[in-house]
Amino acid sequence: MTAPLTLTTVSPAANAFVDQIQRTVARGANTVHISPRNSLADAVVEQLTASGLPCRLNVEGHPEAVPAQTDGGGADGPPDVFVRLETDGDQLALSLMDLLDLPRGHVLVPRTARYGLGLPLFLISIPKSGTHLLIELARALGYRDGGCHDGDVGPGAWHYVEYSNSHTAARDFFVDTVRRSPFGNRHHPFSSSPALFIYRHPYDILVSEAEYYHRSGNTAFSGYLSHQTYEQRLERLADDPWLLGSLRDRIGKFAAWLDFGNVVPLSFEELIGSAGGGDPGTQRRSLWSVLLKLQVDGNVDALAGRIFSPNSATFNHGAIGRHRQKLTPRARDVLARLNDDYLRVFGYQSGFEGALTSTRIAEFRRRPLLLGQSTATSTAILVEQNFLGWNLVRLHGRYYAFSTVDGPRDLTMASAETLSSQPAAGSLAELRTRIVEMVCRDQVEKAVSIAIRGQALAPTRDTARGDAVVHAVAGFRAAEGLPDRV
C-alpha cells in the first residue's frame, strides 16, 4: 500500500487551519512544517501551542527550525504535514512547486483566488489520445460537467475551448476563431483559466484512428474509409493528400498548446497507469503535480483509481505501445517518409523501436501554471446583432441589450445610470431568455389591447386559433390581476 499523499485547501483563517491540522495529526502525523513566516502563520502557531497539540512544530524562521524534507527523505514513520500559508494565489502556486517531489504527506494550503474549483477548467485533447481519461480526471478533481459554452463559463466546471468537443486545434482557435470573433476573441476566458491538454504517441493515435474512424456513426467521414481494409486505412491515414492530411498534419496542429503557460500538458502514457501498461509511479507524480497546480483538494491514490473508464463511448484499446504490433510494413514505410518533427516536439523518439513515453513528461510536470489576467472587461463588445430587435453587448463582465430602434450608440463613456436602464444579465443565455420573455409579453399585451378595444375578431371556441387566443388573453389577465371579462 502506498503512503498517503493529499492536498487540502482551507479557509484562510487561523482557527480553520488549527482545526484541520488537529484532525490531520489525530490521523497519525507527528511533525507539522509551517511556512512562510507571516501574520497568519504566527496566529496558527500561537493557537496550536496553546492547544497542546501532541506533535512537533517546525516553523520557518524559528531559531530551531530545520529544513523540511520534500524530496523523498523521511520515508519511515507517519507522514508529515506541510502547511503553506501564502495567501496570494500566484505566490502560493510558485511555492507549491517545491513540493512536486514529495513522496508522502499531507499538504494544507489557503483557499485563494487561484483555488481550482473557483475557476473554470478547459479540456483539450488530440483525437484518439485519451479524451475519456481527461474528462474522468476533471470529474475526479471535483469539476462539474460544463461542456459547451457561449463565452460564459462558471467556476468549478470543465468546458471545451469551443464547440462541442475537446479537439480544438491551437491554429483553429488562435487564427480562424480570432478572425471571426468580435474584438479578436479577447473576451474569451481561456487565457485567464487553467487548461489540461492530453497528447499521446502519434503512432498509437494512428492505430486507434484506423480501428475507429471507418465505423458508421463514429465520424462524418466514415464512408471515406469504410470500404478499405485495416491495412489500407493505416496507409491512407498516415499520409492522405486529399481529405484528412498526414498524421504529421493532424498531430502538428495541436503542438502550439504545449507552449502556453496556462496549459498543463499530460501524456496518455503517464496518466493511464498500470491499467494500460504504464508506470504507477509516473502516474502518481503526474497526478500530484495536477493537484498542486490547480490547487484543488484530493488524494493521489483515490484519483488514480477513478480516471480509467473503459466504458467510454469512444474507448478502443487503452494500452500504450500498440503500434509496435499493429503497424504494417507498408504503413511504416509511409511514416518513415514524413518529417519526424511532430514526434520530437511532443518528446517521442523517431523510428519504431524507441521509447514509448515522452521525454518531456518531467519538463511539463515541473513547469508552473501561469494564468493571464481577464481581458476586455472595460471595452464594449458587440457579441450579437439584431437578436429580436436588440443588440447584445458585453461590458464590465455583464451583458446588456440595446434596442436597434435607437440606432448606433457610443458606449465608451456609458454611465452606470445608462447601463442600469437597459436589460442586463450575467450570461448571454440569460439575456437572450429575458429578451424572449420581453418580446412574448409585448405581443400578449398587444393582443389583449386589441381584444379589449373590440378590434379583434370574436374568439371562436371551435377553432384551435380561437382557443389559443382565449387562453392567452385569459392567462395574461389572470397574471395581471385583471377581471376575466371586459
Q: What pLDDT, in 10s, does the model give residues 381-434? A: 888 889 999 999 888 878 899 999 888 887 877 888 888 889 999 888 889 999
5-110 and 116-366 share one fold: no
- pLDDT tens track for 267-301: 999 999 988 899 999 999 999 999 999 999 999 99
Query: How high is the pLDDT of residue 92?
Result: 97
pLDDT band at residue 221 using 50, 70 and 90 as cut-offs: very high
Taking phi first (over 0 means left), then psi (-120 to 50 degrees means alpha), and beta for anything else, what does residue 437 get?
alpha
pLDDT higher than threshold 90 for residue 188: no
The enclosing H or E element of 272 equals: helix 268-272
- pLDDT tens track for 431-464: 999 999 999 988 898 888 888 877 555 544 444 4
Using CB atoms within 10 Å of the CB of residue 396, give its burial: 0 to 12 exposed, 13 to 18 middle, 19+ buried: middle
Query: How high is the pLDDT of residue 455?
Result: 57
- pLDDT tens track for 127-162: 999 999 999 999 999 999 999 987 788 899 999 999
Using CB atoms within 10 Å of the CB of residue 28, give its burial: 0 to 12 exposed, 13 to 18 middle, 19+ buried: exposed
Cell of 245: 492530411
Residues 57-62, mean pLDDT to the nearest whole number: 83
Q: What CATH number matches the domain at 116-366, 3.10.20.600, 3.40.50.720, 3.90.420.10, 3.40.50.300?
A: 3.40.50.300
Rounded to whole angstroms, the Cα distance separating 253 from 126 reads 9
Query: How high is the pLDDT of residue 310?
Result: 59
Query: How high is the pLDDT of residue 381?
Result: 82
Q: Is the peptide bond before 4 cis (omega within 30 degrees of 0)?
A: no
Domain covering 5-110, topology? Cobalt-precorrin-4 Transmethylase; domain 1 (3.40.1010)
Query: How high is the pLDDT of residue 309?
Result: 58
Domain spans of the chain, in order of start: 5-110, 116-366, 381-479
Rounded to whole angstroms, the Cα distance separating 268 from 130 reads 6
Report DSSP state, residue 113: T
Give the predicted TM-score (pTM) of the model: 0.84
Rounded to whole angstroms, the Cα distance separating 222 from 177 reads 26
pLDDT higher than threshold 60 for residue 202: yes
Residue from 197, 194, 196 nearest 153 by CA: 194
pLDDT band at residue 73 using 50, 70 and 90 as cut-offs: very low
Rounded to whole angstroms, the Cα distance separating 297 from 473 reads 54
Query: How high is the pLDDT of residue 383?
Result: 82
Residue from 396, 444, 447, 449 nearest 422 by CA: 396
- pLDDT tens track for 324-370: 999 999 999 999 999 999 999 999 999 898 899 999 999 999 999 99
